[in-house]
Each structure stands twice: as structure tokens, then as C-alpha cells.
Amino acid sequence: MSSTRATLDIAALQLRRRLRDRSAIIQGILAPVLLALIISLAFGGGTSFSASIAVVDADGSAVSAPIVAALVGGGGDGAAEDAGVRFVREVDEPTATRAIDDRDVAAAIVLPAGFGAAVAAGEPPQIRVLVDAGAELAGDVAEAVARGLAARLDATRVAVGATLALDPSLAADAGTVIATAATAPTAVALGESAFGAGFDPVTYFAPSMAILFGFLTLGAGARAVIVERREGTLVRVRAAPVTDRAVLGGITLAVLLLGLVSFVTVWLVTAVAFGARWGEPLAVFVVIVATVLAIAGISTLITALARTEAQADSLSAIVAFGFALLGGGFLSPGDLPDVLAVVARLTPNGWALAAFAELSAGASGLAAVWPSVVVLLGIGVVTGAVGLGRIRLGMA
């Protein structure tokens, strides 16, 4: 019989067995969706990020007033509102501190006394940020706003300095000119955020959990070689007029299809039922395919290296949770330490999550994620080829 037909028959049998015992449905679809929702609730209490940040004008100068007014009045391009951030005015720093303690606001940006004078004198302005220790993401946003503001003030100061060198008569208004030019930096700072449309925990943790459970689901599929050897069915399949390549091809095809269906189902369920914003569908699908291929390749390699079913189980669990931890699968992006951000790129999880984050943030098309896709495909092809090359179907 043709190898292609045998491959399809073997793949169909593998899928039927996995679906019949329901482990694939539980592990590949229910578990990632549920865990993504639970972790999302723990991180965000809902499906979208929102925070109030206090702004204090302790200077009360002509330089600080327009900046505070711009922030509180929703100036700029509206990115702050889109990101779920609301700025509220507080009269002084102690009041802002109490508001943080009372959880009325998550952070505060303070323009201290002497701020305007420092700007007018061409000195670096001091901006303080107060943060609720329990609201790290809001603190990150407040710091980003403050840094953006400072950067814009500094750039404007340099530009105005150059202008004054040509026309010293404008020097009296220098501070006001700088402040006026600096009322837009909030938009710049937030526009650079990875979550331009707001951080949505479900959107982040759905792919994260799909990858984690993908390792477990696909690992179980790849272990079919070991299971069938134990059950004795492998020797009977090999006694039929089919090639070993067709046998391995059938098992691999089943693993890939199972992974793809699981991942796509998680995508559709979280998008339709929970409003997760995965991004442009074609690009999302391509990233999913590349991710599944990477997971399948690694699972095949694990199967090839393991001598027993128990060994393969243990290795799969270690790899699944290890990669999830190192790849940032359990942390929101803003909470990822610098070291982990680097280490994450050594894992397929890190590359995949980076690509999904890009797409969910509004990046359009494959152009934005092709490096991740290439790396994931590379991981899948290399580990899969090595794994398939090492697997021995014959008797031990």
C-alpha cells in the first residue's frame, strides 16, 4: 500500500485514540483556557488594564501648570485613555501619598517646587514618581510618563537654547516656550508602550498557557512510539507492508494536527468568549503553526532521548514548566526582570510570546513577527529532525 495512505491511516488512529480518552481535549483546550483566565484574574482582576495616576504641581509655575493641565485634561493623542490610564490632579505630595495608600490611585507624578526655575535655567528638571508597591504595572506606566516628559523637556531645552543663541531677545520667555513644547510628551511615552491598546491579561496568558499545555499534549502524542512499543502494537504495525518512515510520519502528523487544533481552539475560544485581542488572523495563524512545530520538534526529541515512558513524562514536564518559567509564561511582560527578558529568548516560549504580544499590540502582518517565526520554525525543524533520526522503532 502507498506510504501516504499508511501515514494517514496511522495519523487517524492516533487522533481517534487521543480524542477518545479526552486527555487531549482537557490538556490541549480546557486547561489552557481555564488557567489563562485564572492567571488573568490574579494579575488584572479582569480582562483589561486600568489605573489612575495622580499628578501634583508643587511648583505652581508657568512652566509646570501647562504640563499638569495637559496630562489631567487628556492632552496629547489620547493614548493614555486608550491604555486605560487616567490622570487626576492632587494638591500636594502628602495628599497624593495618602491617595496611593488608600488605593485611590496607583502612582503619582510630582513636579516639585523649583521645577520651572530649573527648566528656565537650562538645568535638568527633577520629576518624582511615587508608586504603590502592589501595582507594579501602573508604576511602570507612571515612570514611563515621567521619563518621556523629562526627555522631551531636555530635547526642547536644547532646541530652545540653539534658538536663543540666534535671538537673545527671546530669553525672557524661554521657560514658557519649553513648557509649551513639552506638553505633548505623555503621548510619546505611552505610544512606545508594548501595549499600545492596553494590556489585556487574557490576550497574553492564553497563548502562554496554550504553549505550556501544548508541551504536555504534544509530548503525550509523541510518546505514542514508546506506548505502542510497550503495548506490542508497534511490532504488529511494522509487520504490515508499510515503511518505518510511514509509521513515524503518521505519528508526527497526528502530533502536529493535535497541537494545531488545540492552539487554534484556544485562540477562538478566548477571542470570542473572553474578548482576547490576538491581532491580525493570518499572522496569528502563522505564529501558531511555527509554535506548534517548535513544540512538536522538541517533544519528538524528548521521546527519542527517553528510554522509558516514565522518563519521557518527567522530561516533558520539566521542559514544559522550565520553558514556561524562563520564557516569561507566568509573568506579565512589565514584570519580567531584565535577566529573564534575555533568557526568555533562549526558549521557544519567549519567541512565541514576543510575537503574540507584538500582534496583540496592533503590529500588522508577518513583517512584524517574521524573526520569531523563523526562529520557531528553526527550532522545530532541527529538534524534530534530530529526534526522528534517533528514534528506533525496532526491538530494544
Partner 1 sequence: MAAAPVLVARRLRKAYGDLTAVAGIDLTVAEGETYGLLGPNGAGKTTTISMLCGVLEPDGGEVTVAGRAITATDPGARAAIGYVPQEIALYPDLSARENLQFFGKLQGLRGARLDDRVSAVLATVGLADRADDRIEGYSGGMQRRANIAVGLLHEPRLLVLDEPTAGVDPQSRNAILDAVDALGREGLAVLYTTHYMEEAERLCDRVGIIDTGVLVAEGTRRELLDQLGTADRVRVEGTGPLDRLAAACRALDGVAEAAVTDGAVDLTVSGGRRLIAVLVDAAERVGVAVTGVEVVEPDLEAVFLHLTGRALRDAS
Residues within the interface to partner 1 (CB under 8 A): 1, 5-6, 9-10, 13, 16-17, 20-21, 231-233, 235-244, 394-395
CB closer to partner 1 out of 73 and 389: 389
CB of 245 to partner 1, least distance (A): 10
CB of 248 to partner 1, least distance (A): 14
Q: CA 51, CA 210: separation in Å to the nearest integer?
A: 28
Which cell is 262 given? 488545540
Q: CA 5, CA 216: separation in Å to the nearest integer?
A: 28
Q: CA 6, CA 253: separation in Å to the nearest integer?
A: 12
CB of 20 to partner 1, least distance (A): 6
Which cell is 309 given? 515512558
CB of 19 to partner 1, least distance (A): 11
CB of 229 to partner 1, least distance (A): 10
CB closer to partner 1 out of 14 and 203: 14
Under a CB-based contact definition with an 8 Å cutoff, are residues 103 and 217 in contact? no
Q: CA 311, CA 56: separation in Å to the nearest integer?
A: 60
CB closer to partner 1 out of 240 and 346: 240
CB closer to partner 1 out of 106 and 246: 246
Name residue, grid cell 511490532: 235
- Give SS3 for 105: coil
CB closer to partner 1 out of 90 and 228: 228
| Residue 365 region by backbone torsions, left for phi larger than 0, else alpha for psi between -120 and 50, else beta | left
Cβ neighbours of 210 (radius 10 Å): 32
Q: Which residues pair with 108 in a beta bridge?
A: 54, 130
Please choose, from the candidates 336, 308, 347, the residue with its C-alpha nearest in 3D space to the C-alpha of residue 229.
308
- Give SS3 for 80: helix
CB closer to partner 1 out of 3 and 180: 3
CB closer to partner 1 out of 22 and 98: 22
CB of 3 to partner 1, least distance (A): 9
CB closer to partner 1 out of 36 and 242: 242
How open is the CA angle 276-277-278, to the nearest 5 degrees? 105
Name residue, grid cell 483546550: 29
CB of 219 to partner 1, least distance (A): 19
Buried-exposed string 9-22: b where 16+ CB fall within 10 A, e elsewhere: bbbebbbeebeeee
CB of 348 to partner 1, least distance (A): 31
CB closer to partner 1 out of 168 and 241: 241
- Give SS3 for 51: strand
Cβ neighbours of 338 (radius 10 Å): 7
- Give SS3 for 107: strand
Amino acid found at 82: D
CB of 39 to partner 1, least distance (A): 33
